[in-house]
Amino acid sequence: MQFVDEVLIDVVAGDGGNGCVAFRREKFLPLGGPSGGDGGRGGDVVIVAEERYHTLLDLQYRRVFRAQRGEDGRGKDQYGKAGADALLPVPVGTQVYDAETDQLLADLAAPGDRHVIARGGHGGRGNIHFATSKDRAPRRSEPGGEGEKRALRLELKLIADVGIVGFPNVGKSTFIAAVSRARPKIADYPFTTLTPNLGVVKLGADRSFVVADVPGIIEGAAEGAGLGLRFLRHVERNRLLLHVLSEDPDPEREPLRDLEVMEAALARFSPTLAARPTMIALSKADLPEVQAAAPALREALAARGKTLHVFSAATGEGVEPLLIALEKGLAASPREALPAPVTPPRAADRPHGDAKGFPPRPEDES
């Protein structure tokens, strides 16, 4: 499945139905008076966060979302039916921006979060509302209000407990495949992983956490080098970062410098990431060159007050102690407070109308 984390869409709320001009014409009521009903309000466009979605791919091919128009009012005091809301399901972690002003409109950070992103127009009033002591047979009504229209930019930021970062081919994908049911593409060439991968690590019946393999973080990633600029946003939601290092055959690369490059790239992208809790692990512990480099790297990190975890996803060596350490690190890093879900208001709650969502009545003509 293709991974899409940014799309542009248009949303159009429903117009309100028009009010009706009608009069009661019954055999024994020659002066029945006005009986034109009100139009129904237009439907809203509501964005909803759902766990069954993991990408914005569906929205890439359907660019316009419309809510239903309200019905017009009818005679015999019949009010028009309100238009149905248009529900727009998106993955958890989606942020909604106004495409023109780049203003953040909604942050759907938890399952079930909802946000009314475009309000439907109010229904127009029928002539039953315009009867006065001086005009008992009014021949005027109101047109329905126009629904809101917006151009939106949707941006997905994956929500995971642990974000796994590191240079290409250090063993991130192999690790996430070994500890979860995720099946990322694994090969021995740079940038094998072209999309983030999510996996659930289960340590017991009620002990689990979500890990994300974030690809493309290399030197200059914050300035757009490699794939980093595209995927660095997915690191912002992580509670804890796991820096994965490995001994590289390239003489210009060495684990300690790789760590410094990654930390600098994250700090340049977002200052808050520099203060995020981190852990450091050396992968491919089954290789002789890694075993030889581990003592010096552990000593260098200890001098900086950091602990090095060594593991091999291929043989399983050191994997379980690393997972337990990650679990303890998450326990010490509580989740950030998520925004309360925003539920679509009922028509009676709308500040601009009466009990049916109509605008305030104008003063009676004298």
Q: Give tens-digit pLDDT for 224-261.
A: 444 445 556 666 777 888 888 887 666 667 888 888 88
Nearest CA among 151, 172, 170 for reference residue 160 = 172
pLDDT at position 363 over 70 = no
Residue 1: helix, strand or coil by DSSP?
Answer: coil
- Lowest mean pLDDT across 90-94, 188-192, 293-297, 311-315: 188-192
Outline which parts of the chain fall under CATH 2.70.210.12: 1-156
Interacting residues of 71 by C-beta distance below 8 A, sequence separation 6+: 17, 39, 40, 80, 81, 82, 83
- Local structure of 88: helix, strand or coil: strand
Predicted pLDDT of residue 360: 46
Indicate the burial class of 25 (C-beta count within 10 angstroms; 0-12, 13-18, 19 or more): exposed
Q: Where are the beta strands (DSSP E) in 39-91?
A: 45-50, 64-66, 86-91
Mean pLDDT of all residues in the chain? 78
Distance CA 111, CA 132 (A): 51
Per-residue pLDDT, 358: 43
CA nearest to 159, candidates 339, 9, 363, 285? 339
Q: What residue spans in the chain does CATH classification 3.40.50.300 cover?
A: 162-331
Q: CATH says 162-331 is which class?
A: alpha beta
Q: Kindly tell me the sign of the dihedral angle through the C-alpha atoms of 97, 103, 105, 108.
A: positive
Q: Is the pLDDT of residue 345 over 90?
A: no
Q: Domain 1-156 in CATH: superfamily? A: GTP1/OBG domain (2.70.210.12)
Enter the pTM of the model. Answer: 0.63
